[in-house]
Every structure is written in C-alpha cells, then in structure tokens.
Amino acid sequence: MRLDPEDAWGYVTTGGTEGNMYGLYMARELHPNGVVYFSQDTHYSILKIMQVLNMRNIMIKSLGNGEIDYEDLHETIRINRDVPVIIMANIGTTMKGAVDDLVKVREILQDLVITRSYIHSDAALSGMILPFVSDPQPFGFDAGADSLAVSGHKLIGSPIPCGVVLTRKEYVARIARSVEVVGVMDTTIPGSRNAWTPLLLWYALERYGEEGFRELVSGMLAVAEYAEERFNDSGLPAWRNPNSVTVIFPRPPQDVMTKWQLAPHRDIAHLITMPHVTRDMVDELVDDCLAAVQV
C-alpha cells in the first residue's frame, strides 16, 4: 500500500466496515471538528459509520463513471474552509468500480489552502487489484492517504469475513490508551479478535505471493475485458472503469437478475469477474440477457 513498514501500523478487522470506521475514527481523533466528504457512490455503510461516530458529513455528487465530482467537491469545501477536511475516498466503488482521483483531490486541498486534512481510502476490492497492475491509479499512502481499508473476503477470498486497516504509526499513538487488565495498549476498535482470519490471510499471501496475485488480477481483468466486449458485440452497451473488474450493463429483467444474483442500481446491473468467473459463464449471462431483451 506504498507505506514504509517502519511507519506502518494496522490490524486484521472483521471486514470493510470496521476498517473504514477505524480510519474515520482516527480522522475524528486528529480533527475533532472536521467535516467528512464522500461521493454519492460511496458504500452505504459509510453513512452508518457517520451516525455511529457522530461526525458532520456532506455527500458530494458523483460523475457518471462513479468517481467523485471534483467541481462539486471544490465548491463544497470552498464554502466550509474554516473546518478541517476529511475525505472518504473510494478506491473502487461498490457498483461501478470507480477510483476517486487522489491527485485531483489533493490539488483541490492545495488550491483552497486547506491546512488541516485527512484522507481515508476505502480500498475494499481495488486495494488488492491496483498494487498488481502496471498503470494503477494513485491509491495508497504515497498518493496522500492517511489510512486505508482493504477487504480480506473479496479478492483474497477468505471464507471468513475479514479485512485489513492500515495507518501511520504516529497517528495510532494519539488514540492508544493503556489498559491495565489486559496489560497492553488499547489501539483497536474491538477488544477480543478473531485469530483464524490473520492465519487465512497469511496463508493466501504465502500461497500466491506477489507474482501469483499479479497473475490472478491479470486473469480477472482479461475476463472483464472479454465480458465488456461480448455485451457490446451483442448490442447491449457495457463499460467499465480503468483497472476494474466490474462490468456495468443494462439491468436485465427480474428472472435474469434472480438466476445470476445480480446487484442492481436503478437501470444498471454489474458483474464482477472474481477469479471463479469463466468466459463460459460470461457467454451464458450475455445470452440470457439478450434472450430476455428479445422477449
């Protein structure tokens, strides 16, 4: 995640939601009166986290491809320049796999001379894709993130939900409290934690290694490209964001949605070419969509 291990601190969470909650909790402890900005395309759990943490927040419009609308972000921060800015950046949105451009976000902060800011990257899925492609969008600590959450049950494929949250060591010292009864510093959201999930993640990382993940990701992207082409060749407009395994296509009738357990949003549906998705499955799905449209 492009953070010097010497400066890094993190732990294995119960999943994306806890990782995002931890990052935003950290942001609140560093900037108690900060306002959190996130796009319309952000995962629904973020609004819940805002309620739990009781943080002031403003939802920003999204662009058509699912990225945050940079003009709306600029204008909204401009009228709230007196308070710290906390950006909840999507590194792969749930529905469209869009990656918010951290370079543009930082340019906005510089342009408005914002001196107190914090960026949390929600990299639930793409956090395990972008490190393994040749031309990744900026996503990690080198791009300005102060914390980052990645899911363990998405691309890594842990059969028990889990995730990893990472941040800078220096920040954690700000929230650590000494707890006599357990004899350690309290730095995590839960007290007792699952001991199996770190083993499962360790096992997967050892088994695949960096090269193995590179191959896995490259195969997933190739199937995504195939799916995009197959839909378009069949006259069903499909598209996807750069480096994304999420292919968006017109929402098919309910029987196709049910058969394939597709996730809808208004008039679109998506498929995500996780490692088990084959070209044959894509062919069958496209044929089903086409047949349903023709009926």
Ligand X SMILES: Cc1ncc(COP(=O)(O)O)c(C=O)c1O
Q: Where on the chain is the footprint of ligand X (CB under 6 A)? A: 15-17, 20, 43, 45, 94, 122, 124, 151, 161, 163
- In 3D, which of 267, 285, 160 has the Cα closest to residue 231? 285
| φ, ψ of residue 95 in degrees (nearest 5) | -90, -40
Q: Tell me how far, at minimum, the Cβ of 291 lies from ligand X, in Å.
A: 29
CA 96, CA 272: separation in Å to the nearest integer? 10
Residue with the CB atom nearest ligand X in the bound state: 16
Q: How far is the CB of 46 from ligand X (least distance, A)?
A: 8
CB of 9 or CB of 22, closer to ligand X: 22
Closer by beta carbon to ligand X, 43 or else 230: 43
C-alpha–C-alpha distance, residues 11 and 24, integer Å: 15
Query: What φ, ψ does residue 26 adopt, rounded to 5°?
Result: -60, -45
Q: Which residues contact 66 (CB under 8 A, 6 or more apart)?
A: 39, 41, 90, 93, 95, 96, 97, 98, 241
State the nearest-atom distance from the C-beta of 152 to ligand X, in Å: 8
Q: Quote the least distance from Cβ 13 to ligand X, whole Å.
A: 8
Cα gap 199→206, rounded to integer Å: 10
For residue 33, the minimal CB distance to ligand X (Å) is 25
Known catalytic residue at 244? yes
Judged by beta carbon, residue 20 or residue 76, the one nearer ligand X is 20
Q: Among 39, 117, 151, 244, which one carries the catalytic annotation?
A: 244
CA dihedral 220, 268, 230, 243 (to 10 degrees): -30
- Identify each DSSP E strand in 83-151 by its residue range: 85-90, 117-122, 147-151
Among residues 16 and 34, whose Cβ is nearest to ligand X?
16
**Sheet with strand 35-39: strands edge to edge:** 8-13, 163-168, 147-151, 117-122, 85-90, 35-39, 56-60
Which residues are the active-site residues? 244
